[in-house]
Structure 1
C-alpha cells in the first residue's frame, strides 16, 4: 500500500469514528443508600481511570505543592497568609487524592 492509500484509509476511519453519536451513560442504582454517592455512582471504568491516572497525578501534585509551599513559606509568612498558601498548595490536592471516593467527581466526606 502506498502512502496516499494509507493516509486516505486512516482519514476515513477517523472521520467515521468522529461521526458516531455520543451515547449517554446510564447510572445504575447503588445499594449504599447514600444520596451523594448514588448521584455519582461511578462505573468500573471511572474507578480504573481514577486509580491508574488521576490518583498518581494528584499525589504528584500534592508533593509538588508541598515543595512550592516550602519555597514560598518566607514570602507567605511576611504576607501573613501561611494558612491560605498551605491549604491551596497542599491541602486541596491532598484532599482530592486521599478523601474523594474512588471514581467520584465530588471530593470530601459528609459529617453528619
Structure 2
C-alpha cells in the first residue's frame, strides 16, 4: 500500500514538471514562439515601424553616398547589410511586437 502511494505521488510530481517544461519550451530560440502583448504591438506599429522605415531610407542614402569609398575598401556587402538590409528586415519582415530576430513565419 505504501509503495502505491509513493508511486502515485511521484507520478503526479513528474507530470506537473513535464507540463511546466512543455509550457516553457525547449529553451532553443529557434523553437520559441513570441506572443507579444497588445501594447507592444501598438507601440511597434505606431512608433518603431515608422522609425525603422525612416532609418532604412536614411541608410540607403548613406549607403549610396559611401559607395565609392566602401567599394575601394571592399566592404560593399557589409555596408549594404548594416545600412539597408538589417533596418528593412526589422521594419518589414519581423512580426508585429516581436523583439528578437524572429524573421521566420509563424504558423
Fold match, TM over 0.5?
Answer: yes
- Over the aligned positions, Cα root-mean-square deviation in angstroms equals 1.8
Match of 2:62 among 44, 57, 68: 68
Larger radius of gyration: 2
1:109 is matched with 104
In structure 2, how many angstroms separate the alpha carbons of the residues matched to 1:35 and 1:53?
Answer: 28
In structure 1, how many angstroms separate the alpha carbons of the residues matched to 2:64 and 2:84?
Answer: 10
Q: What are structure 1's unaligned runs of at least 5 residues?
A: 1-28
Q: What are structure 2's unaligned runs of at least 5 residues?
A: 1-22, 24-29
Moved over 4 A (4+): none
